[in-house]
Amino acid sequence: VLVAIVVVSLAGAWYISDILNEDGLLANHEEPEFDLVVSDVGDGLVALDTTADTDENGRWRLKGVFGLKSPGAYNQVGAIVELDESHVVREFLPLDGGLEVGQKVRIDNYSFPDDPFSAHGIPFEDVTFSSSIGSFPAWLIPGTSDTWVILVHGRRAKRREALRILPSIVEHGHPSLVITYRNDEDLPRSDDGRYQFGQSEWEELEGAARYAIANGADDITLVGFSMGGAIVTNFLLVSPLSEEVRGVILDSPMVNFNDTVDLGGRERGLPRLLVVLAKTFAAIRFDVDWDALDYVSRADEFDLPILLFHGDEDRTVPIESSEAFAEARPDIVQYVPFQGSSHVGGWNRDREKYESAVSSFLSQLVE
């Protein structure tokens, strides 16, 4: 019986390591399903019904402002008016395109469509920068300051992730680069097509920093969302250009991938032992260095002002990682938690609180 239990456990852990590879490590750019159906729209409201694909704990039932994506259109939803287990009525905020009863839609955090100009009327230029594996596109937003801001999106996300914070940065006159990195859609890939959570992607951030300095930046402020936070933190640890960084903003950062995988295991109801074994197999099969991906353990090596956002309803990256980082370095970390906020959802939950913290932080950096 003992041998059978061991064999079954090892087989299960091997299978879970395959899931970890597919869901966590490999780059995948398939768009999420349209998982809600419009049942009514009008008078500034939209009614949405759940489907078999709907996450029962998804953004559709969270307070705040979110994007509402439908085929060929992008709008917003706001405050919740009615809510039950299979239906929600929210404020409807038209942006780009119409909405019809019967259409399938999805809610996302991005909140704005396309690019800086489409979203906010902010002029920008498409530019490219280089790293060791090729050239990468970026949005360049002009400004008058000598401090540039470089923004790094998260895993399987897009540059649109930066559109919520961008107006707060532009108001301070900072030129900004919203960048891409390896394994983004239709861009240079790593040899194995897997994310390395900052261990390799920092080279693209370094390339963007070189571009900024070559084009007039005296120093740089970095912004990282989710895995972008891991890219930023490892850049600070390994790049000689980290000396040019004035400050850092991290939003729901993946500063300890161990914690992220552990949370995923709990969300799936997996026994702790199986998750530990699966991570061991992943280290062997996919060359994952779990210790290297624990940036919290190196918190004492950072010496820059850091503004840190995280929400307590984050089911992707556990808030405990950010809490541990903030507790380890209260001398440099300004920690701003958001109650009822999803992953990278602080702005969505409380726009005024989020933008006020960003504006105050940027002002402090130039004092």
| Tens-digit pLDDT profile for residues 239-291 | 999 999 999 999 999 999 999 999 999 998 999 989 999 999 999 999 999 99
Residue 12 banded pLDDT, cuts 50, 70, 90? confident
DSSP-based three-state secondary structure for 3: helix
pTM of the full structure: 0.95
Q: How many CB atoms lie within 10 A of CB 214?
A: 9
| Mean pLDDT of all residues in 358-363 | 97
DSSP-based three-state secondary structure for 259: helix
Residue 10 banded pLDDT, cuts 50, 70, 90? confident
| Per-residue pLDDT tens over the stretch 180-203 | 999 999 999 999 999 999 999 999
> Residue 6: pLDDT above 80?
no
Helix axes 257-267, 2-20, angle to 10 degrees: 110
User: Rounded to the nearest 5 degrees, what angle is found at the Cα of 172, between the Cα atoms of 170 and 176?
Assistant: 45
| Per-residue pLDDT tens over the stretch 54-73 | 998 899 999 999 999 999 89
Phi and psi torsions of 279, nearest 5°? -65, -35
- Residue identified by tokens 């380890």 is 328
Residue 304 · residue 237 · CB < 8 Å: no
Helix axes 272-286, 257-267, angle to 10 degrees: 130
| Mean pLDDT of all residues in 167-183 | 97
In the chain, what are the helix, strand and coil shares in percent, each to the nearest 5?
A: 35, 25, 35
Of 98, 115, 194, 113, the C-alpha closest to 155 is 194
Alpha helix stretches (DSSP H) within the chain: 2-20, 116-120, 166-171, 202-214, 227-238, 257-267, 272-286, 319-328, 346-349, 351-365
* % the chain with pLDDT above 70: 98
> Residue 115: pLDDT above 70?
yes
| Mean pLDDT of all residues in 320-325 | 97
| Mean pLDDT of all residues in 35-59 | 94
Q: Give the distance from CA 299 to its chain's centroid.
A: 20
Residue 1 banded pLDDT, cuts 50, 70, 90? low
DSSP string, 93-155: EEEES---TT-EEEEES--S-SSHHHHH----EEEEEEETTEEEEEEEE--S-SEEEEEE--T
